[in-house]
Every structure is written in structure tokens, then in C-alpha cells.
Amino acid sequence: MAFLLRWVTKPREARSLQNVGNKNRSVHKLYKAPAVASLRISNKSLIFITPNGCCRQLEKLEKICTDAITAGVSAIQLRDLESSVTDFRRAARRLVDLVDNKCLLVINRDIKLALEIGASGVHFAEYQLNDTRAKEVALHSSQLVVGISVHSVSSALVAIEWFPSYIQVGSLFPTASHPGQEPLGLVRLREIRQVIPSNIQLVAVGGIRLENIHKLKNEGIDNVAVISAIADSSNRIEHCRSLKRQLE
């Protein structure tokens, strides 16, 4: 797994984020990194996020994930907002064995489960940014990759105080995983990107496909996360490899 991860010691001195225009006001944030190291995802990462309901169909989930690993994804993020807690936990344990250090396995929202099964990391939803206990555990879990989803500049400013490995921004384009949600678009992506320090990776997510991934490359975005682009493909391995080539 060494080619996927590197240890990054956060600078201990205070760092000042640049002023960010936000309509009629400017946001200025001062923060100080903790004296710990954290795991960081490699640049040009392709992350596969599992679709809703997947934990109820373990054989199908294992097949999709096996194809994704074969194609060379950097990480699998186990996310399923529809299946039961029991099914989710069972799937998480199965995927730990399946992944077997071939790529990262990141558990959605449940840091206790991630630590319990020896997963590579945990991914927090935007609403969890108010969870002080989860933040405290995350700040002191130097053996974990920590990711956070954000949908706005204000949330990104809160997320960087967790000193995560990466911040996931979306949804950028229309996507079935967030029906009815207005896509962020590239303009708001640029605004969020301005406040994220260089020692935290930005991962773009939401409706990303071969047909539009070049728009992210034009913005200098090198890390993406996808669901249906892999899960719903009739030729997952080749499709996944094509996505990876677009990141290179």
C-alpha cells in the first residue's frame, strides 16, 4: 500500500488562509495544525464509492469491487445509506478481506467500525462536522485516512480544522445519488478550492463520467470519486482504466 499513501507531518506553526470573497463579505481563517502525522491519499487518485443498497447484495458488491481493484482504483469508499446497520457492518468486514491491502478501504461515517475492523480510513458526511467527539477521535487517529464531504465554502472552512487527508467536494454535476440537489458546478468548485490548504487533497465527486472528466482536469483537479461510472458500467475494468488514464 506504500504507493498509495505517504506520511505527512502537518506544519505546527499557525497558517493563515487567504481572504475569500463571499458576496459582500470576506472570510479569513487562522488555524494551527496539531503536532501529529496523518495518512494522505496519493495524488491522481480514483476513488470508487459503493452504491446504495449494495450491502444487501454481497456477492454483487464483491464482484464490482474486485473489478475496481483489478482496474487499479486507489480506494473503495463503502457507502450505503439504504441497507441496515447489520448488513453494512457485515459488508465492511467482507471488504477488508477482499481488499487485502490492494487499495484503501474507507468506511463511510462510522469511525468506530473503521478502527474495529482495521480499515484504511473513515469518511465523514458534512452534517458530522458538528460532532465534536468524532472530530476529537479523528484528530488523534493518525493511522487512518480521514475524508470529509463538503458542499460549500463555509463547510470547507470548518472541515480543514479536522486536518483531514482529503476533502470531497460535490456534487459537481447532476447525479442520481443526490436526486433533486442542485449541482455545485465549476464556479463554486473554484471558490471551495481556494480555501483548502495544499497539504489536504481535494477530491471531486458527483456525476463524473468519461464525457466530463476533462472539465475537472482543465481546473487542475487530479482526484475524483465516482459511483455509477464504475458500478453501472457493462465493462467495469476497461471503463475504470479509462477514467484513470484521464487523471494522468
Q: What is the pLDDT of residues 130-185, one digit of tens each?
A: 999 999 988 888 889 999 999 999 999 999 999 999 999 999 998 877 677 789 99
The reported pLDDT for the residue numbered 57 is 97
Closest alpha carbon to 168 in 228, 117, 125: 125
Q: In order of start, what are the domains of the chain with their CATH numbers?
A: 35-247 (3.20.20.70)
Pairing of strands 5-9, 37-41: antiparallel
pTM, two decimal places: 0.85
What's the length of the chain?
A: 248
List, for residues 28-76, the tens digit of each pLDDT value. Answer: 344 444 434 457 788 999 999 999 999 999 999 999 999 999 999 999 9
C-alpha cell at 235: 465493462
CA distances 1 to 103, 108, 161, Å, are 7, 20, 27
33 close to 16: Cβ distance less than 8 angstroms: no
